Every structure is written in structure tokens, then in C-alpha cells.
Amino acid sequence: MNRGPIRKLWNDVLALWRMITDKNASWVSRSMAIGAIVYLITPIDAVPDLLPLIGLSDDAAVILAAVAALAWELNKYRQAEATHDPMTVDATSPST
């Protein structure tokens, strides 16, 4: 999956995955992240992935929409990865 337009968004995909696996993340955020990841890996898309160059564009759009909607929470997961902290991020309180 780390190809085409998704390659540029791969860190966002990984942050969404970390959110999904974090039991402290809200169920609404986790649900949105799960939906985006499922759309990415499901072979049934609005634009088939087999079409060169544009096949993954709809997948990238869904990932971008989820990242935009979850931007505040995802920043905490990116920061935890950057500092190599174990994923003990409290998704309910703002970071300082």
C-alpha cells in the first residue's frame, strides 16, 4: 500500500493505525480511523486501484479527510512516535 499518492501519506496512515490500537482514544475517533484504513485496504473503491496514477487518488482523499478531521489527536501520535515513547498517549487531554 505504500505506493503512489499513499507514499506521501504513509506517516499519516501509521498515525491512524496507532490511534486505532490505542485503547484510550475515543470510539468516535477510532471509528473514523478504522473507516479510512478499511477503505484504503479494500479492493472495492470509487476509482479502481488498478488504474495507473489515479487509482489510489480516492484512497488518498479518504486518508486526507480522516487526517484533517482527526488532526488534533493525530499530532499526539506523531509526537509519541518522534520521541519513541510507548503509546501511552492520553487522547482525551490537550498536549502542552
- pLDDT tens figures, 8-35: 888 888 899 999 999 989 999 999 999 9
- The pLDDT value given to residue 21: 93
How far lies 76's CA from each of 7, 10, 11, 22, 71, in Å? Answer: 21, 16, 13, 12, 9
Task: Check pLDDT > 90 for residue 36.
Answer: yes
Checking if the pLDDT of 45 tops 90, the result is no
Q: Mean pLDDT throughout 42-67?
A: 83
Q: What is the CA radius of gyration of the chain?
A: 14
